[in-house]
Structure 1
Amino acid sequence: MRFASLRTADGQELGLVAEDLFHPVPGYRDVSEAIERGADLHALGEAARREDGRAFDEEDLASPLRPPAMRDCMCFHEHIRNCSPEGALDPLHSQFPAFYISNGNAVIGPREDVRIPPGSARFDVELELCAVLARAVSNPTPEEARAAILGYTTYLDWSARDLQMQEMTLRLGPAKGKDSATTLGPYFVTADEFAGRESGLSYDVPMRAWINGRQITAGNWNTINWNMGDVIAYAARGTTLSAGEVLGSGTVGGGCLIEHELTGSETFTRYLRPGDVVETSIDLLGSTRQRIVEGLPVHPLSSGY
C-alpha cells in the first residue's frame, strides 16, 4: 500500500494513494500517528480504499512521517570509497553498518524549501531511502529486525560539508553539519509492495537526482552492501528502537556532490546555492522537488565563532 499526507487548511490528513487518487484515512494526520496509536495500517488502507477517492496536487504533499527518532547509516560502499582517499574502504565497514543519530525536529516535506545552514558555503544533498519500524525492537536478531519493518520512504540527508568536516576533526559528529534538514516522503510504501523486486541484498529500485534539471545521480538500491535486517539489528544491539523509528540507508553511490568533487567527476561544478532546484525520484517511493533558499544569520558565540 502507498500512503501520503496532504497539507490542509487546518493541518494534514493521511490517505491511501491508489490509481492516482487520494482516499482519506479519517482521524489520522500521517503514518507516524497511526503507528503511535497502534493502528493496523493495512486495515486502515483497506477501509479507505472502499471509500471514494479524489484527485490531488502533489504540491500539497507533506512528510508522511514525524519519527520519534532517526538514525542514518553508511550502507553503500561505493559512496564510502568515493569519499575516501584513493578509494580506500576501512575493513570495519564490512563488519558493521556505521550510523549517526539524526534530528527528528528537522524533518521537512518533499516540496518544502531547504534553508542553507547558517555559515555554510558547501551545502550538499545525499540521496537515500529509509526503513520505518512497525513496532519497538530490543536486541533483535537480523531476521527479527527485518520482520519489524513496516515500510519505506525517501530520505534526503541535507549536509553542510564545511561544518561537517570541521566538527569531525574533533572526532565527534556529524552535528551541525547534518541537523538542518532531512526530507522524508512523498510516499510511504509498505514493505509488501516490493515483492518481486528482490535483487542483491535489497530490491531493484532505481534512484535518481537532478540539480537545476541536470542529472547528477543514477543509482539503484540493489547496490547496497547491507540488508536492512542487519542495519536494524546492529542499531538495536543492547538497546531499544521505538515503533515508527526511521533508519536511513546512507547515500547511494554517486548520490551527492562531494563524491563527484572528490573523484574529479565532470558532474561536479559547485555546491548548492540559493535558487537551485533539487529533484529526486525513487521507483515506487515517488519524486521530490525542493528549492534551496538563503540560510538564517549566524549569531557569534562568546569566542567570536
Structure 2
Amino acid sequence: MRIARWSHDGIVDEGFVVGDRVVAFPDGLTVTDVLTEGLDAAHAAFARVEASTGAPLADVRLLAPLVPASVRDFVAFEEHVEGVSAGVEGKSHVADEWYEAPTFYFTNPHTILGPDDVLHPPVTDRLDFELEVAVVVGGTRDLGESNLTVEDAASVVFGYTIMNDWSARDLQGREMKVRLGPAKGKDFGTALGPWIVTADELEPYLDADGFLAIRAEVYVNGALIGEDLVSNAGWPFPEFVAYASRNSRVVPGDVLGSGTVGNGGCLGELWGRNGGLVPPPLQEGDEVRMVVEGIGELVGTVGAAVPAPAVSHARPRPRLRHRESDTH
C-alpha cells in the first residue's frame, strides 16, 4: 500500500494511492489515525475503498505524507562518514564510537516539506542535500513504546518514505565546533515523500541479515551524483527503532532517517573525497531528484534564500557569584 496526503481544489485529504489515482480513507480517517492503529488497520481500511473513486494522481498536489510526531536522523553509512570527515577534519576518519551504536540527532518536525514544495534555505555558501530512506513508526499499542527488543521494533516499522535532509554545511560546521548540533545548519527544511510505502511491500527486498537491499539514487539537474544500496547501512532499520526506544519512547508518527547513503549521497561526502567544492554547492533554481527502488521519487527545487535577523555575539561577563547589590 501507498499512503499519502494531498491537496485538491483547495481541500487537504488523506488516503491511499491506488494505481494512478488517490482515494481517501474511509470514515474520515487520517494518516495519524492509521499509524496509531498499525498495519492491520491500514489493510482493513484499504479493503473498504473503491479504487475507481477519488481523483487522478496527476490532478492533485502531493503533500508530505505525514505530520511527524518527531524526526530522528541517524548517521548509519560508514562510507558517508569517511567522506564527510575528510572535508571537515582534513582526513578520512571514522570514530571508534561510531561502530558501537547507531547515533542520531533530532531535527525539526515543524519545517517538513513535501514533494511539491520549494526549499527556501538560509543564506549559505554550501547548500547540500542528503539522500536517505526513513522508517515511519506505527502500531505501538500492543508492545509499548520504550526499550523495545529488535524483534518488537520490527513489528512497529509501519513503512518507509524518502527523506532529503537539506543541509547548510557552512552553518553546520560552525555550530558543531561547539560540540552540539547540527542545529541551524539543518532545521530549515527536511523533505519527505512522495508517500509512505507500507513495510510489507518492501519485504521482498530484505536480505538474509534483515537489511533492506534497495537502490537509492540522487540527481542534480538531471545528472547522476550518487547511488548506493540502502543495505550498506551499518544497522538494519529495526535496530534504529529499538535504539531510539532505549530508556525513551517511540510513538506512532515518529520518523527515523537512515542517514545519508554512501557513494555520493550528499555533496559534502564528495567535497571531502575530491578535496574541494566539486560538484559545486546547490544554487537557486537547482532541482534535486531522489529515486529509491520500491518507493518512488522525491523531487525538490531550491528557491531564493531567506536572510534572517543578525545574531549578537556573546558579551564578556564578570563571572560574579553574587549580585553586586547583595554585598552592601
Shorter-chain TM-score: which interval? over 0.9
What secondary structure, in the 3-state scheme, does the structure 2 residue paired with 1:143 have? helix
- Which of the residues 283, 292, 304 maps onto 1:282? 292
- Show structure 2 runs of 5+ residues with no match: 315-328
Q: Which residue number in structure 2 is paired with residue 92 of structure 1?
A: 97
The CA distance in 2 between the partners of 1:67 and 1:159, in whole Å, is 19
What secondary structure, in the 3-state scheme, does the structure 2 residue paired with 1:230 have? helix
Alignment of 1:36-115 (within 5 A): 36=36, 40-49=41-50, 52-57=53-58, 60-85=61-86, 86-115=91-120
2:84 partner amino acid: C
- Asked if 1:205 is matched to 2:214, the reply is yes
The CA distance in 2 between the partners of 1:128 and 1:240, in whole Å, is 23
Q: Which residue number in structure 1 is paired with residue 257 of structure 2?
A: 248
CA gap 1:58/1:250 in 2 versus in 1, 3 angstroms: farther
Give the conservation status (yes or no) of the 8 Å contact 2:65–2:196. yes
Using the TM superposition, give the Cα deviation of residue 32 of structure 1 relative to its aligned residue in structure 2, in angstroms: 2.8
CA gap 1:21/1:59 in 2 versus in 1, 3 angstroms: closer
The CA distance in 2 between the partners of 1:81 and 1:19, in whole Å, is 41
Q: Which residue number in structure 2 is paired with residue 123 of structure 1?
A: 127
Superposition TM-score, scaled by structure 2 size? 0.86
Q: Which residue number in structure 2 is paired with residue 2 of structure 1?
A: 2
CA gap 1:123/1:29 in 2 versus in 1, 3 angstroms: farther
- Asked if 1:294 is matched to 2:304, the reply is yes
Percent of residue pairs bearing the same amino acid type: 33
* Equivalences, count: 304
The CA distance in 1 between the partners of 2:222 and 2:215, in whole Å, is 18
- Show structure 1 runs of 5+ residues with no match: none
The CA distance in 2 between the partners of 1:116 and 1:242, in whole Å, is 29
Superposition TM-score, scaled by structure 1 size? 0.92
Using the TM superposition, give the Cα deviation of residue 34 of structure 1 relative to its aligned residue in structure 2, in angstroms: 3.0
Give the conservation status (yes or no) of the 8 Å contact 1:163–1:176. yes
The CA distance in 2 between the partners of 1:195 and 1:295, in whole Å, is 40
What secondary structure, in the 3-state scheme, does the structure 2 residue paired with 1:155 have? strand
Cα offsets for 1:168-209 (capped at 9, x unmatched): 000011110110001111021110001221225422211111
Using the TM superposition, give the Cα deviation of residue 267 of structure 1 relative to its aligned residue in structure 2, in angstroms: 9.3
Alignment of 1:103-252 (within 5 A): 103-117=108-122, 119-136=123-140, 137-199=145-207, 200-252=209-261
Cα offsets for 1:211-269 (capped at 9, x unmatched): 11111011121211101121111111101112111110000102000111110189933
Report which of the two structures shows the higher radius of gyration computed on alpha carbons.
Answer: 2
CA RMSD of aligned residues (A): 2.3
Cα offsets for 1:24-61 (capped at 9, x unmatched): 22455852343357792221122124553542217711
